[in-house]
Amino acid sequence: MTAGRESFGKGGGGHRIDGAGEEISFGESLEQSAERVQRALHKLDAGTYGYCDMCNTVIDPARMEALPQAILCLSCRQKVKNAKTQSSTG
Protein backbone atom coordinates (compact mmCIF):
# COMPACT_ATOMS: atom_id res chain seq x y z
CA MET A 1 0.00 0.00 0.00
CA THR A 2 1.24 3.33 -0.83
CA ALA A 3 0.48 6.32 1.24
CA GLY A 4 0.13 8.78 -1.54
CA ARG A 5 -0.08 12.38 -1.00
CA GLU A 6 -3.45 13.79 -1.59
CA SER A 7 -3.48 16.62 -3.93
CA PHE A 8 -6.19 19.09 -3.57
CA GLY A 9 -8.09 19.13 -6.75
CA LYS A 10 -10.16 22.03 -5.71
CA GLY A 11 -9.51 25.62 -6.37
CA GLY A 12 -8.75 25.89 -10.00
CA GLY A 13 -7.39 29.28 -10.68
CA GLY A 14 -9.93 31.44 -12.33
CA HIS A 15 -9.21 34.73 -13.79
CA ARG A 16 -11.71 37.45 -13.86
CA ILE A 17 -11.72 40.35 -16.11
CA ASP A 18 -12.25 43.61 -14.41
CA GLY A 19 -12.23 46.93 -16.02
CA ALA A 20 -15.70 47.76 -17.09
CA GLY A 21 -16.28 51.39 -17.73
CA GLU A 22 -18.81 53.03 -15.52
CA GLU A 23 -20.88 54.85 -18.04
CA ILE A 24 -19.39 54.16 -21.38
CA SER A 25 -19.96 50.58 -22.29
CA PHE A 26 -18.69 49.34 -25.57
CA GLY A 27 -21.77 47.23 -25.89
CA GLU A 28 -23.74 50.33 -26.42
CA SER A 29 -24.30 51.07 -30.02
CA LEU A 30 -23.09 54.27 -31.55
CA GLU A 31 -26.65 55.06 -32.40
CA GLN A 32 -27.69 54.87 -28.78
CA SER A 33 -24.97 57.17 -27.56
CA ALA A 34 -25.64 59.57 -30.40
CA GLU A 35 -29.25 59.61 -29.37
CA ARG A 36 -28.27 60.47 -25.84
CA VAL A 37 -26.09 63.33 -26.99
CA GLN A 38 -28.97 64.61 -29.08
CA ARG A 39 -31.18 64.49 -26.06
CA ALA A 40 -28.67 66.38 -23.98
CA LEU A 41 -28.49 69.03 -26.66
CA HIS A 42 -32.25 69.35 -26.61
CA LYS A 43 -32.10 69.83 -22.88
CA LEU A 44 -29.50 72.51 -23.38
CA ASP A 45 -31.88 74.18 -25.76
CA ALA A 46 -34.80 73.87 -23.39
CA GLY A 47 -32.80 75.18 -20.50
CA THR A 48 -33.04 71.95 -18.53
CA TYR A 49 -29.51 70.89 -19.22
CA GLY A 50 -27.87 69.65 -16.06
CA TYR A 51 -31.17 68.58 -14.60
CA CYS A 52 -32.25 65.00 -14.24
CA ASP A 53 -34.71 63.86 -16.84
CA MET A 54 -36.59 61.72 -14.36
CA CYS A 55 -36.66 63.57 -11.05
CA ASN A 56 -35.62 67.06 -12.16
CA THR A 57 -32.88 67.22 -9.58
CA VAL A 58 -29.74 69.12 -10.40
CA ILE A 59 -27.21 66.64 -11.60
CA ASP A 60 -23.91 66.72 -9.77
CA PRO A 61 -21.67 69.18 -11.66
CA ALA A 62 -18.77 66.77 -11.34
CA ARG A 63 -20.88 64.19 -13.08
CA MET A 64 -21.80 66.62 -15.82
CA GLU A 65 -18.17 67.40 -16.27
CA ALA A 66 -17.28 63.76 -16.59
CA LEU A 67 -20.28 62.98 -18.70
CA PRO A 68 -21.56 66.06 -20.53
CA GLN A 69 -24.32 64.09 -22.19
CA ALA A 70 -25.73 62.84 -18.91
CA ILE A 71 -29.47 63.31 -18.72
CA LEU A 72 -30.09 61.46 -15.48
CA CYS A 73 -28.80 61.99 -11.96
CA LEU A 74 -26.73 59.25 -10.47
CA SER A 75 -29.54 57.64 -8.48
CA CYS A 76 -31.95 57.60 -11.42
CA ARG A 77 -29.23 56.32 -13.66
CA GLN A 78 -28.65 53.55 -11.17
CA LYS A 79 -32.34 52.71 -11.13
CA VAL A 80 -32.50 52.49 -14.89
CA LYS A 81 -29.37 50.40 -14.92
CA ASN A 82 -30.77 48.00 -12.35
CA ALA A 83 -34.06 47.70 -14.18
CA LYS A 84 -32.21 46.95 -17.37
CA THR A 85 -29.98 44.28 -15.92
CA GLN A 86 -32.92 42.66 -14.22
CA SER A 87 -34.96 42.42 -17.37
CA SER A 88 -32.08 41.24 -19.49
CA THR A 89 -31.05 38.48 -17.14
CA GLY A 90 -34.57 37.46 -16.26
Q: Which of 40/52 has CB closer to Zn ion?
A: 52
Q: How far is the CB of 19 from Zn ion (least distance, A)?
A: 27
Residues in touch with Zn ion (CB under 5 A) = 52, 54-55, 73, 76
The CA distance from 20 to 57, in Å, is 27
CB atoms within 10 A of CB 23: 13
Q: How far is the CB of 71 from Zn ion (least distance, A)?
A: 9
CB of 55 to Zn ion, least distance (A): 3
Q: Which is nearer to Zn ion, 33 or 76 (CB)?
A: 76
Q: How far is residue 24's CA from residue 27's CA, in Å, rounded to a whole number?
A: 9
The DSSP 8-state label assigned to residue 26 in this structure reads T
